[in-house]
Amino acid sequence: MTRRAGTIDRPVALEPVSKGNRAAILALEPLPEQQEYVASNAESLAEAEQDDEAIARAVVCAGRVVGFLMYSAPKDDDEAIIYRFMVDRREQGRGLGRAAVGKALEEIAKLGHIRRVAICYEPENEAARRLYAGFGFVEQGLDEDDEMIAVLELGG
Ligand SMILES: CC(C)(COP(=O)(O)OP(=O)(O)OC[C@H]1O[C@@H](n2cnc3c(N)ncnc32)[C@H](O)[C@@H]1OP(=O)(O)O)[C@@H](O)C(=O)NCCC(=O)NCCS
């Protein structure tokens, strides 16, 4: 992946999945070498439809869908889990991933009942590791699927 110069903080919004943005979400792709790091958005949307606790969001920048994420934040638990996240290969390296994680954490904190956020990624996924470490996520070790779990305690 090429890191582009001039990474800036970019305004992004998270929007619920709707008829209006579904096709754009399905058109997003990771880089070929990243395919093993994340399920396809078609799989994730199908999963979200079957799971009442899945909260799926389009990442939108300047009116365009640039990424997708999914998390759960059960009402009877104080831990949320962000378990899908991707930025389209054509949009990577420009600060959108960082902005989207920031928005997701804001949205989760506003729910009020969540004290900690967990996130999972393949241990060799250096971009994910660095991105999440930048927010203060602390690696906890591998889960039963050999994915790294990292946790952020929400302040306040
Ligand atoms: C991980 C991912 C979402 C990052 O999105 P992005 O928009 O490119 O990220 P940003 O441009 O906001 O970069 C933010 C930080 O991430 C890290 N990062 C992003 N790409 C990186 C790379 N190729 N190598 C190393 N670190 C990288 C850096 O810490 C970067 O901060 P910096 O620019 O100050 O160095 C994107 O690479 C992606 O969609 N990957 C495929 C799916 C995936 O791995 N998802 C995560 C696991 S579910």
32-77 pLDDT, tens digit per residue, is 999 999 999 999 999 999 999 999 999 999 999 999 999 999 999 9
Nearest CA to ligand 1 atom 13: 95
The answer to whether the CB of 1 is under 6 A from ligand 1 is yes
Centre of ligand 1 from the C-alpha of residue 131, in Å: 6
Centre of ligand 1 from the C-alpha of residue 149, in Å: 17
In a domain, 2, yes or no: no
- For residue 19, the surrounding DSSP H or E stretch is helix 19-26
pLDDT score at 156: 56
In a domain, 141, yes or no: yes
Which residue segment(s) compose the domain that 107 sits in?
Answer: 13-153
Centre of ligand 1 from the C-alpha of residue 63, in Å: 21
Kindly report the CATH number assigned to the domain that includes residue 17: 3.40.630.30
In a domain, 1, yes or no: no
pLDDT score at 155: 82
* Number of domain units in the chain: 1
pLDDT score at 21: 97
Strand partners, 15: 58
- For residue 59, the surrounding DSSP H or E stretch is strand 54-61
Determine the Cα–Cα distance for residues 113 and 129; give it in Å rounded to an integer. 26
In a domain, 3, yes or no: no
In a domain, 4, yes or no: no
